[in-house]
């Protein structure tokens, strides 16, 4: 009996020690004062169209409906190829919480400078999910530094990137500037499953049609899928094989999941099981 008691005591003590010394999960986004910005290049892959719909779906969840956010279209770098027009979908998804850098980059920079300063000057941080390249981010940081030099952008602006290709087609000068003047986070690629972030590229996946119960979100996804098929591989645009196979690709959303601390989501099916209802 005494040995049993001692064994139980040792197990309990060890468990308490392990729990006490287990590192706390990193705290990132502060919903009370931070701003989440998702920037879409929309050139030339249609995955940004699906990613925008997924972003809106996530933000529609009661767990994240209080998140302060903004979206930017047309934040492409030096890659060649045609643009994928996202305006109808962005308007439906984000209403007045998006701006069009493709139509007018200077105006979009000014808009985003003003939006981000609202949060930075009140003590919040800005988190940029880079669904594309970092050329726009570099220009935005320069604009913030010019108008508010007291703000330490290297600590207060977070850029999250998951794609090697996105970095390769960012102009070298812009990428270097963005990395030097922000807190730059490179995370595992959202096109794969089991690497530390969700894998949201799934050929042949169509269960979203039955998983999504909200009529507005269902309409948004119908438009996203329709738009993706309309432009995928057309006129020299990138041919996304997952989309061509009747599936989805919202791989860029892995960055948002990482920012919000839900990077444990496994894949597309788990995403819709969690947020489709």
Is the pLDDT assigned to residue 21 strictly greater than 60? no
For 91-131, the pLDDT digits (tens) are: 999 999 999 999 999 999 999 999 999 999 999 999 999 99
To which H or E segment does residue 108 belong?
helix 105-120
Supply the DSSP string of the chain, one letter for each residue: -HHHHHHHHHHHHHHHHHHHHSPPPPP---TTT-EEEEEE--BS-THHHHHHHHHHHHHTSTTTTT--EEEEE----S--S-B---HHHHHHHHTTSEEETTT-HHHHHHHHHHHHHHHHTTT--EEEEEES-SHHHHHHHHHHHHH-TTS-HHHHEEEEE--HHHHHTS-HHHHHHHHHSSEEEE---TTSSSSSS-B-EETT--THHHH---HHHHHHHHHHHHHHHHHTTGGG----HHHHTT-EE-TTHHHHHHHHT-TT--BHHHHHHHH--
Q: What is the mean pLDDT of the chain?
A: 92
User: CA 258 → CA 107, 127, 131, 261, distances in Å?
Assistant: 29, 11, 13, 5
Is the pLDDT assigned to residue 5 strictly greater than 70? no
- Average of per-residue pLDDT across 223-237: 98
Cα(243)–Cα(245) distance, integer angstroms: 5
For 60-85, the pLDDT digits (tens) are: 999 999 999 999 999 999 999 999 99
For 176, which DSSP code? H
Place of tokens 């892959």: 45
pLDDT at 54: 98
- Average of per-residue pLDDT across 39-56: 98
In this prediction, residue 26 has a pLDDT band, given cuts at 50, 70 and 90, of low
Is the pLDDT assigned to residue 25 strictly greater than 80? no
Q: Which of 235, 249, 171 is nearest to 205 (CA)?
A: 249
Cα(248)–Cα(269) distance, integer angstroms: 11
- Average of per-residue pLDDT across 242-263: 98
Cα(34)–Cα(183) distance, integer angstroms: 15
Cα(98)–Cα(70) distance, integer angstroms: 6
For 153-194, the pLDDT digits (tens) are: 999 999 999 999 999 999 999 999 999 999 999 999 999 999
Is the pLDDT assigned to residue 16 strictly greater than 90? no
pLDDT at 4: 41
pLDDT at 95: 98
In this prediction, residue 27 has a pLDDT band, given cuts at 50, 70 and 90, of confident
pTM score of the predicted model: 0.91
């Amino acid at each position: 009996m005494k040995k049993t008691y001692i064994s139980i005591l040792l197990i309990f003590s060890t468990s308490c020690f392990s729990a006490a010394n287990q590192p706390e999960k990193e705290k990132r986004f502060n919903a009370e004062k931070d701003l989440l910005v998702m920037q879409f290049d929309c050139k030339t892959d249609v995955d940004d169209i699906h990613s925008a719909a997924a972003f809106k779906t996530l933000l529609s969840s009661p767990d994240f409906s209080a998140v302060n956010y903004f979206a930017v279209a047309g934040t492409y770098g030096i890659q060649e190829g045609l643009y994928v027009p996202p305006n109808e979908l962005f308007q439906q998804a984000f209403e007045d919480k998006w701006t069009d850098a493709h139509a007018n980059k200077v105006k979009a920079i000014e808009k985003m400078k003003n939006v981000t300063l609202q949060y930075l000057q009140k003590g919040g941080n800005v988190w940029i999910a880079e669904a594309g390249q970092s050329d726009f981010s570099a220009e935005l940081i320069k604009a913030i530094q010019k108008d508010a030099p007291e703000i330490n952008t290297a600590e207060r602006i977070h850029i999250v990137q998951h794609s090697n290709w996105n970095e390769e087609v960012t102009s070298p000068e812009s990428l270097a500037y963005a990395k030097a003047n922000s807190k730059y986070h490179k995370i595992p690629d959202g096109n794969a499953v089991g690497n530390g972030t969700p894998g949201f590229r799934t050929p042949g996946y169509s269960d979203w049609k039955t998983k999504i119960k909200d009529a507005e979100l269902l309409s948004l996804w119908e438009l996203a899928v329709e738009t993706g098929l309309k432009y995928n591989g057309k006129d020299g645009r990138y041919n996304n094989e997952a989309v061509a196979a009747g599936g989805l690709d919202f791989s860029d959303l892995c960055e948002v999941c990482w920012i919000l601390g839900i990077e444990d989501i496994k894949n597309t099916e788990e995403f819709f099981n969690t947020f489709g209802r």
